[in-house]
Structure formats: C-alpha cells, structure tokens
Structure 1
Amino acid sequence: MLLTKRRTKGDVAFDILNNLGMLLICFVTLYPIWYVLINSFNDGKDAMLGGIYWWPRVFSLKNYEAVFNNAGIMTAMGLTIAKTIIGVVAHVFFTAMVAFAFSRKGLIGGKFYILMGTITMIFSGGLIPTYLLIRDLHLLDNFWVYIFPVLFSFFDLIIFMTFFREIPDGLEEAGRIDGANDWTIFLKIVLPVSMPVLATIALFHGVYQWNDYFTGIIYVNNESLQPIQTFLYRVVAQSSSNIMTTALQGSAVTKTVTSQSVKLATMVVTTLPIVFAYPFLQRYFVKGMMIGSIKG
C-alpha cells in the first residue's frame, strides 16, 4: 500500500503563492496584447478620450476597414508575406543541404570548415562593411536583399547537422544499395524523416523574416519594397504620425478613425499570422519520427 505524504501548511502556502505569481506573470505578459486588441476594435475618435482597459467602449471595425482598404499598407503586407515564404523555403533548403554535407564523416576539411563557421558566430564584419558588400552585390532597393544575406545560418546548420548525424546509417546504406546518389538520399530519405528539425528551423526563420524591420530601414529606400514592420517602425518613430496620416488620406472612414487606432489595428493584423502558424508547426517539434524507420 502506497503511503501518501501529508501536505503541510507550508506546502499549501507555497503552492498558493506559486500559482499567484504565475498568474501575475501571465497577466503582465498578456494584458498589453489584450489592450492593443480591444483598442483596435474601438472607435478611433472615442479611443482618444482614454479609459479603455478591458473591453471596447464603442465597438467598430472601421480601423480594420481602413487597413485593408489602404493600398500602401496592403502592399507592405503582401511584400512581407512573399519574403517570409520565399525566405523560409530558400533558407531551410540551402542550410539543410550544406548541413547534410557537413554531417558526412568523410568530408575533407570538415573540422576547418566547422572552425571557420564558429568564428563567424562570434565575430561579424560590422554594419558598414556589410552595407558596402550589399551595395557591390547590387542588392540595394532590391527584393532579394531580404533573401540572399540570410540564406545561410551556421547556427541553424549546427542544429541540422546534429539531427542528421542521429539518422541511422542503415537508411543511407539501403539507398546506396538501390542505386541512389547523394541528391536522391538527401531529397528522398533525409528530408522526409527530418520534419521535426525542418519545422523548427522554418519557424525560427519565419519569425525572423516576419518581424525584420532593420533590413528595410538600412538597405531599402523605395517605399514600395519596404515590409509592413518597416512601415510600422516609421510610424512609431515619427511622433507626428505623418506617414499614417498620409496613408489614411482618401479613405472613406477617415472621419471615424485616427492614426493611432489604425496603427493598433495594423499591429494586430501583422501579429496574427505568426500566432496562428505556430500551433500547426508545434506538432512537428516532438521528435520521434525515426522510431520504427529501420529494423535491427
């Protein structure tokens, strides 16, 4: 018969304080998001009066109507979606391809390449040399400035390489027996059984691409090539909100919205895609797809 340890008053008090502390942390973390959400659904003119803390006082969808009807904001959103999708696919495939080569035991100079890559994780050339390189590559005011400079990451390579080395050698040997070359093994054997690490790196780089505003500030002057995060940065950086006011000109809802209310609605619109994408990728994080893939 199992003996159950009797809980003391100290244990109960600790649990209560621990739960209260966690609830406080959750509240401090989530309330700013909730505050932005409810104000984005409130009438812009009414929101200027303040006092909105828990629920919209005058519910309105005019802020979102202004966002989706504005060509400039939607162009920036479309560019962000395009660079995120293209960037994730290119980054994951290229980094995985290099990591597959690094994971081979017979790679000549493998230790030297690992050392050189590790150095790049600690030291960088700096902003000015990077800008000069981007300029010489003719990537200024170019869509591909969002893709090529971050096509490869040595940190992600280490994650890929560690995972690839855990793949049983029998899978590759079976492919060799069937006449598969390196490309066939990589594309048809390694990648299909590497979905957990592929999804993880895709999420990491996808969040980076979606939230990146710095690249658009430094390397892009053409406003039609600036992503939504750079657009928001410019709005926040200028207290007069001239950019958002210009974006609202000509809109049919300018009488009921303000630059602040549209800015909050834009923040919500730019955040939701990443929030919704995470649950679909989370199921791939559980490592275990290799179980049963090879019989001993």
Structure 2
Amino acid sequence: MKAKKSSFKKLKSKDGQLFNILNICLLILFTIIIIVPIWNIVASSFATSDSLAKGNFIFWPKETSLDNYIRVLSDSSLWSALFISVSKTVVGVLAHTAFCAVVAYSLSKRELKGRSLYSSLGLITMLFSGGMIPTYLLIKSLGLLNTFWVYIIPSLLSYYDVIILMNFFRDVPTSLEESAKIDGASDWVVFKKIFLPLSKPALATIALFHGVWQWNDFMTTKLYVTDKALYPLQMKLYEIITQSQAASSQGLNAAIEIGTTSKGIQLATIVVTTVPILIIYPLLQKHFISGMMLGAVKE
C-alpha cells in the first residue's frame, strides 16, 4: 500500500514538473512575441535614416542618432497635443470614476425605487448604440463640437464599470453602514467616508481602464473636432502616419530633414506617446490586480 502511495506521489510530482516546464516555455514564448515588436520599434526610432532605410539590423542599429526625437520634441504642436492628452485623461478619469461610483452606489441599494428599470436601461446601453450619425447629431445639438468637453461628457458613464462597482459595494458589510447611520451620517457621508475608502482597488481598476482608453482614443477627435488646437497626441500620431503613407503612395521623397525620415519620426512619436502609460501602469498594478480579482473567489 505504501509502495503504491509513493509511486503515485512520484507520478504526480513528475506531472507537476512537466506542467511547470510547459507553462514556463509558453510564457517565455509569449513574452518574446510581445517584447520583440516593441523592442524593434524602440531600436528603429534611434536609427539613422540610412540604417532605417537599409534595415540591416536585428536588435540594435549600427548607427544611432537622436535626430528623430529632436525633430519630434522640437515640434510645438506636439507639446500642445501632449497637454490636451494629459488634461483629457486626468479630467476624464476623475469625472468618469466619480460618476460611475455614484451611480453604482445608488443601484446597489435594493430599496431604490425603479432600480430594475434603471438596471435594464444600463444593460441596453451595453448591447445597443444609437449609431455614428445619430450620435454625431446628438453631440452637435449639445454644442460639444470643437470643445474640450466632447472628450469628457459623452464618456462619463460605462455600465460595465458600474456593474464592477455595484458588485464591490454589495460586499461591503451592511453593519458598517447601519452603525454610521445610527450615528447620524447621511447617505452621502456613508458613501464618502466608508464605501469610497474601501473600494480603492475597484476604483483604481476602472481608472486604469478608462485612462488607457482616454489616452489612446483618437476617433472622438476625428469625428467631432476640427480645431487642431484641441488635437491630442494620438491624433497627432494619426496625422503623421497618414501623411507618410500619402507621401509614399505618391512616390515622393520621404526625407524631411537630413538625418530624419517620416518613418523615423513616426516611430519616435509612437515611443513618446506610449511611455507615459508604461510609467503609470506599475504604480497602479497592485490595485489593478486586486480589482480584477473582485468576485473571483466566493466564501
């Protein structure tokens, strides 16, 4: 009997080791698939125009230059676009997170009148949309065309984020809320002093999701903004890509200045627009992972 148990344990340990080896190999493969294209973009952005044209490098160009970055960072419109991107991301994240939190707190209360109707309306927004033209007409009628608030107001509510916060608020012990109300606290005080501090992981998750969307969004600008003073970084990058494609399709010389090319400037702009998100993500990673695990384990 003992011999059978020992052989079973050995077999189980061998299976576990084989699984771990396969798992590590797959993770290494996926990591390489993700990192290699990113590294190629970064390395190419530092290449000279000749090295970039020849493409005779794999990991790092033989001839490097900062001309692409000097060209990009010396463009005054890029700094204006950076200011718009940062502003709309910060304001959009704060407004979106606060609005979704207030709606989720209200809908998490079973005694709320019309709660099922509000929930049904929210679910409908997840499944259906008015379409591009009706949405444009709505934005126009609200006077949001060519304004900064077109980045903020239409994206205030996401019912998906509301559901995440509702599930978290329902897990908060009711005894905390009852004891606070016995002491005379209003619903607003309970929400601000109890629910918000306890829901930091969920709020950080929603803030990160919406922040990445706000930072990468250029369709809002393309559809509703024609004033170039309100262009964000992503729209600036979109302009650079379309201009370089138009030049190449017409057979024009892509060189912009000595030592730089439209492709090199395009790659440098990609790096500049991606770096802020790469810096912010590690700061929110702890809360992000906790928020993603909400509801994953039931006791």
**Does TM, normalized by the shorter one, top 0.5?**
yes
Equivalences for residues 1-296 of structure 1 within 5 A? 3=6, 4-6=9-11, 19-238=24-243, 239-240=245-246, 254-285=257-288, 287=290
Q: 2:84 corresponds to which letter in structure 1?
A: L
Structure 1 residues 287 and 259: CA distance shift in structure 2, 3 A: closer
Q: 1:275 corresponds to which letter in structure 2?
A: L
Aligned-pair CA distance for 1:281: 0.8
Structure 1 residues 153 and 189: CA distance shift in structure 2, 3 A: same
Moved more, 271-280 or 42-51: 42-51
Aligned-pair CA distance for 1:192: 0.9
1:135 & 1:125 partners in 2: Cα distance? Answer: 14
Q: 1:5 corresponds to which letter in structure 2?
A: K
Return 5+ residue gaps in structure 2 as ranges: 292-299
Q: 1:55 corresponds to which letter in structure 2?
A: W
Aligned-pair CA distance for 1:13: 7.1
Aligned-pair CA distance for 1:10: 8.7
1:180 & 1:108 partners in 2: Cα distance? Answer: 21
Return 5+ residue gaps in structure 1 as ranges: 289-296
2:26 & 2:52 partners in 1: Cα distance? Answer: 32
1:148 & 1:206 partners in 2: Cα distance? Answer: 15
Q: 2:55 corresponds to which letter in structure 1?
A: G
1:287 & 1:255 partners in 2: Cα distance? Answer: 50
| Contact 1:76 1:227 (C-alpha < 8 Å) held by counterparts | yes
Q: 1:259 corresponds to which letter in structure 2?
A: S
2:73 & 2:125 partners in 1: Cα distance? Answer: 42
Structure 1 residues 166 and 67: CA distance shift in structure 2, 3 A: same
Quote the residue 1:291 is aligned against.
Answer: none
Q: As a proportion of its length, which structure holds more helix?
A: 2
1:92 & 1:14 partners in 2: Cα distance? Answer: 41
| Contact 1:45 1:257 (C-alpha < 8 Å) held by counterparts | no
Taking only aligned residues, the RMSD between alpha carbons, in angstroms, comes to 2.5
Secondary structure (helix, strand or coil) at the match of 1:240 reads: helix
1:83-116 per-residue CA deviation (whole Å, 9 max, x = no partner) reads 0000000000011011111111210010111111
1:21 & 1:162 partners in 2: Cα distance? Answer: 34
2:224 & 2:214 partners in 1: Cα distance? Answer: 15
1:120-173 per-residue CA deviation (whole Å, 9 max, x = no partner) reads 111110000000000001111111100000011111111111100110111111
Q: 1:121 corresponds to which letter in structure 2?
A: M
Q: 1:151 corresponds to which letter in structure 2?
A: L
Structure 1 residues 146 and 27: CA distance shift in structure 2, 3 A: same
Quote the residue 2:295 is aligned against.
Answer: none
Structure 1 residues 107 and 15: CA distance shift in structure 2, 3 A: closer
| Contact 2:89 2:214 (C-alpha < 8 Å) held by counterparts | yes
2:66 & 2:190 partners in 1: Cα distance? Answer: 52
Aligned-pair CA distance for 1:20: 3.9
Structure 1 residues 280 and 9: CA distance shift in structure 2, 3 A: closer
Structure 1 residues 17 and 188: CA distance shift in structure 2, 3 A: closer
| Contact 2:51 2:61 (C-alpha < 8 Å) held by counterparts | no
Aligned-pair CA distance for 1:228: 1.0
1:232-262 per-residue CA deviation (whole Å, 9 max, x = no partner) reads 12222341359xx9xx98xxxx322222111
Secondary structure (helix, strand or coil) at the match of 1:5 reads: helix
Structure 1 residues 265 and 9: CA distance shift in structure 2, 3 A: same
| Contact 1:235 1:241 (C-alpha < 8 Å) held by counterparts | no
Q: 2:204 corresponds to which letter in structure 1?
A: A
Secondary structure (helix, strand or coil) at the match of 1:285 reads: helix
2:100 & 2:57 partners in 1: Cα distance? Answer: 47
Q: TM-score, normalising length from structure 1?
A: 0.87
